[in-house]
Structure 1
Amino acid sequence: MDNKAPVTVIGLGLMGQALAGAFLKAGHPTIVWNRTAAKADQLVAEGARLASAVGDALQASSLTIVCVTDYQAMRELLGASDIDLNGTMLLNLTSGNSAQAREAARWTEQRGARYLDGAIMAIPPAIGTAEAVILHSGPQSDFEAHKSTLDALGTVTYLGADHGLASLYDGAGLTMMWSVLNAWLHGTAMLRTAGVDAVTYAPFARQIAAGVAEWLPGYAEQIDSGSFPAEVSALEGDARTMAHLIEESEALGVNAELPKLIKAMADRSIAAGHGAEQYPVLIEEFGKP
């Protein structure tokens, strides 16, 4: 496909505006539509064309990107009686969960459309740079057909045919992000009681986070094989250290909810007979409702 192919963007919130702006910057003819037309003013000044209606926007290019409030908003826009989805190629970059993504795929395909689901792992100012990771899931042939256009958005990644994978990876990335940040904040709160500021602690915390990240490939092999030999330490030993962390936090007057949660899960795993195994055995606790 011509890497300057026209592209349509429906939904011009901050992220939608960033997406359309990146296509324009890369030289793609860009058609936009938004319920509040004034949000397109700056993009139109930069060369975008404002479609008069959703149907016109859909017909104006071979790829339409939808970035609206939620999946329900997408269905309300595209499900109107005057909208013909037959033969259109939709990429939905609206935030949601994997069940919504799979249902959206069924809903659009029943109406004759091709459908990819996606997730944006970036803030609006990063769109159009390599730092912006855009995840895609759905038919690989559809992704490959439009990859040269999508490259304008950042680092585009294809995950697999299951339409729910982009949302699942998004969720997995968010839990990593918040867990790392919460652990850092807990440690910062502890050190502040001794007069150590966050700026001083941050390089050490970054070193620890990078070191732990190096364990992941080996731990992943244990999880996938279902075997957790204690090559580094046993969970029961880790649990004793967790108890020390809780005691220290409470003695300092620092919130101990995070280490208590971690230890509660470890205690359940130990009670189930896994105390002599390595930390990744906790996957069995995380895998429960």
Structure 2
Amino acid sequence: MNTPSPAHAEPPRPGEQPPPGGADPRPVTVIGLGLMGSALASAFLRAGHPTTVWNRSPQKADPLVASGAVRAASVADAVAAAPLVVVCVTRHDAVVDVLDAGRTALPGRVLVNLTSGSSREARALADRVAALGAHCLDGAILTTPDAIGAPDATVLYGGPDAVFRAHAPTLAALGGGVTFLGADPGIPSLYEVALLDIMWTSLTGVLHAMALVGTEGIAATEFAPFAAMLYSGVGSFVPRYARQIADGAYPADDSTLHTHLAGIRHLTEESGDRAVEARLPLYIQGLMERAVARGQGGDSFARLVEQFAPPAQGAASAATSAPRSASA
């Protein structure tokens, strides 16, 4: 494994871009050839990296082999074929199965786990890999398979600084947004589930809104441009509220919780009148009512973060994560 020691490699700072790829593409192995795994292998091939592939169902490798990949006969052969082994399978326990099957070939190599999971699972995996004599980078893919390799495709990584530095040129084949979040292998998984939290909760709001206007026969396609217009403005609140949470101060420079509470009561009333499921807005209304009852009605909407985490924990978390939040 051509991994420099920390003494010879300046570690990357959290959130920074990797250096550009070199002229001598290194070999890489990809294990797991679902939609995402196949996209990863294809990106390595396009970038000129000798690529070995393995999948439990061997026929899934056929298109990649036709494009120049080498099909490994076993997991152990796949691991032995390259210093960098990328695993992208359906479940985290399947990664453990891969480790068990390839453990004899793993010492001295780098395992890059791009399988979704929790931060606890990522940290446990890194410990397990280290016990087998290898290094582990854990990552989170923030794009769809069709966008892998594109300049704006973002993949987050955590793990040993020098290991990331050594293999960043190879990993850059997956997209321009290769972002290092620091030495803790659990942080990329935490980012992933937190970002999915934003996606699911915000899109649920969109669906609720479309159901609401649909009671008047308004087509979702007719309402969609207005929803998209709102989305373009909502993003501007994110850095402002993040700063307030980090500071532990919530000036209502846009609107007070009193005003928000009056507005959401209109929403829950409208939903009830139209027999539209209202548990989501009622939940948010309850958060506001508790904050107002605590004497926080004059604060901004960001004060509601304390409904999810105690003030000290929320502020400390935001302050600690601020340097990590720089995105490629």
CA distance in 1, matches of 2:65, 2:271: 55
CA distance in 2, matches of 1:100, 1:113: 17
CA distance in 2, matches of 1:3, 1:95: 30
CA distance in 2, matches of 1:158, 1:217: 21
Give 2:18's aligned residue: none
Deviation sequence 1:93-121 (CA, Å, 0-9, x none): 01111100011111111111111001112
TM-score, length basis structure 2: 0.83
Q: Does structure 2 retain, via aligned residues, the 8 Å contact 1:97–1:164? A: yes
Residue 93 of structure 1 is aligned with which of 105, 114, 121?
A: 114
Listed as ranges, the gaps of 5+ residues in structure 1 are: none
- CA drift of 1:150 comes to 1.2
- CA drift of 1:153 comes to 1.1
Q: Does structure 2 retain, via aligned residues, the 8 Å contact 1:3–1:148? A: no
Q: Does structure 2 retain, via aligned residues, the 8 Å contact 1:109–1:115? A: yes
Give 1:68's aligned residue: 89
Decide whether aligned partners of structure 1 residues 50 and 230 sit closer, same or farther in structure 2, where only a CA change above 3 A counts: same
Amino acid in structure 1 at the alignment position of 2:169: S
Listed as ranges, the gaps of 5+ residues in structure 2 are: 1-21, 311-328
Deviation sequence 1:180-239 (CA, Å, 0-9, x none): 211111111222223322222112111111111111111111100111122222212211
Q: Does structure 1 retain, via aligned residues, the 8 Å contact 2:159–2:184? A: yes
1:33 aligns with 2:54: yes
Give 1:254's aligned residue: 276
Residue 250 of structure 2 is aligned with which of 218, 225, 228?
A: 228
Matches within 5 A, 1:92-171: 92-154=113-175, 155-171=177-193
Q: Does structure 2 retain, via aligned residues, the 8 Å contact 1:3–1:149? A: no
TM-score, length basis structure 1: 0.94
Give 1:57's aligned residue: 78
Amino acid in structure 2 at the alignment position of 1:157: T
Residue 36 of structure 2 is aligned with which of 4, 15, 18?
A: 15
> SS of 1:274's equivalent?
coil
Q: Does structure 1 retain, via aligned residues, the 8 Å contact 2:75–2:101? A: no
Q: Does structure 2 retain, via aligned residues, the 8 Å contact 1:40–1:50? A: yes
Give 1:201's aligned residue: 223
- CA drift of 1:84 comes to 3.5
1:84 aligns with 2:109: no
- CA drift of 1:3 comes to 5.2
CA distance in 2, matches of 1:197, 1:144: 51
Q: Does structure 2 retain, via aligned residues, the 8 Å contact 1:119–1:136? A: yes
